[in-house]
Structure 1
């Protein structure tokens, strides 16, 4: 559970189900993440509701008995918001809202709300608004239920249907406008990327809140916003970075997350272009998180989806200063059970060191622990790419004059 300050938080309950495809342990992991998402959005989770079902109820997601239980609880405790862990269909959202008479959100809606809060630049705001409009369009009917005009028939003909159709047309027009705006900005960003020349590009990728921005600040001496909340960074930041006189471009990208809304993947495609066009990926992992293995799998899946899984990659296990012993398999490492005495040699004996095909690092970005090895490994990887691009660079190839003469 999260430790939070108690002021100005919106009282919230969260709901999830155990199905054939999602056991209880996996559900609890997702609900932990949903609680952190809720906290990031400004809410405080006061209760969790779970139910075992073969599949979600097509009308109300959970069963009628569970919905009644939720209804009693929110009325007795003056809870104004109920958040479901999976994306609700427009019909489910409409039916649940009618039954509970409160604000009903799903994971997608919550993530979109956080993105809307976090969007600082015009481009990020445009991307988020497009995703919100695409999410909103099929749900417009449910938003007009208070007019009771949807059913038609005697006494029910009137402005309701006209209002809905007008709103649909407005939203569709807005979506078309936003797509054109994003297309224009994408072209500008593509030109910017091409103007960077042939410099080696390195992209930080990873799950949200793993410390990518902290690492970028430490390596690139930039001032990227950092906060212990999900999606602290939405806009891609690119900085020229130099290690041992070797310049390269380092970019920080938006964090990935499980069950990432498809609308956001589409609208943030330009951010993902930084990953697609990178020469080297630094896959940052929060080793202190109990679900870091799932996080690695989720990031690898998205990299697969955007056709970037085959790029040279260095696995960077971050936050070793926050690691607890109980997360390590006793067969992997033989040291006394404490939380503060792991040496780098101890880390290298674990199964994690084999994940990156020998390109694996263990660091702490905040404490700058093992930064020398980090900088050396990044330098070697960038140098290898740089030499193929600039074979006669005098800094990297001292005998370049001789090489030219021998050709």
Structure 2
């Protein structure tokens, strides 16, 4: 990855910035710098209209091949878009799961019929997806999934029974991809299938999970005889584990630079607060603030170094372990900079943001694979150590 931008790349960055300034206003002004769904100003209906506005502007599917309706832009242009999107105040993306996780997996493991069926809705910002992986007894240990799927010999549909948990935005999604056990008696990584399942059907029920922040981003999803068409699976039945791992490898895509741009804004707010309340004069806190800035630059360098490589769960594990620890530490540092103010409800937007950072970041080292699981994956798959 060349860190020196060409004239063309600088022009592209300017075009992203100009488009965002022209469109993230009026109706969409409340979304500026909005976080997760449910946060102030971040209403689901408005977010979906924003996703469709992005699609109409040609800002979805930037790296997709043209044969699938994408723009097939170079990696550097994709990085620029995700960075500028966040810098200009772009809200959290409801279409992220479909566009950056499912779509590449569909292109790699889906039939042409499935690609034609599902990719256009994702590209247009009109179809939203949730990820059905974790279960009450199979959170970080994904291979322990117990949700079952069987083929109905009469109708030819998959019939699904089980439960998923910690399912982000399922209450606003239209579809969910579900890792389920399709071979009776199979254990661990064998006998799994990755199914594409409509959420709005009999046999599917959702229960929001209230978080410490007061929001309900996550859900429990229950399947009681839910159905998916017999051909709606990625890869061959029984080979779902390899497909699921490919999908997880997509989590380290260029959108991680957008995530890091969001982290940069959080760090900048913390630095502003430290200057305002005098915490920056404390040598110990000042040193830790500097270390946080250096740590963020390291995350960026790692992301740029690994972009363009084949989706690899090892690199994804390293990235997830690194950023989650960094952000959790930033949340702890934010509370120390706040001092006694951290325990007081306040209308001040910067102090509110820092309190929210601390609450949200407590889960970073748990969701999407806990630290312990990431360390196991790195030891076994990168260092080839025995179990």
**Normalising by the residue count of structure 1, what TM-score does the alignment of the two structures yield?**
0.26
Whose radius of gyration is greater, 1 or 2? Answer: 1
* Highest RCO, 1 vs 2 (Cα 8 Å, sep ≥ 6): 2
**Normalising by the residue count of structure 2, what TM-score does the alignment of the two structures yield?**
0.27
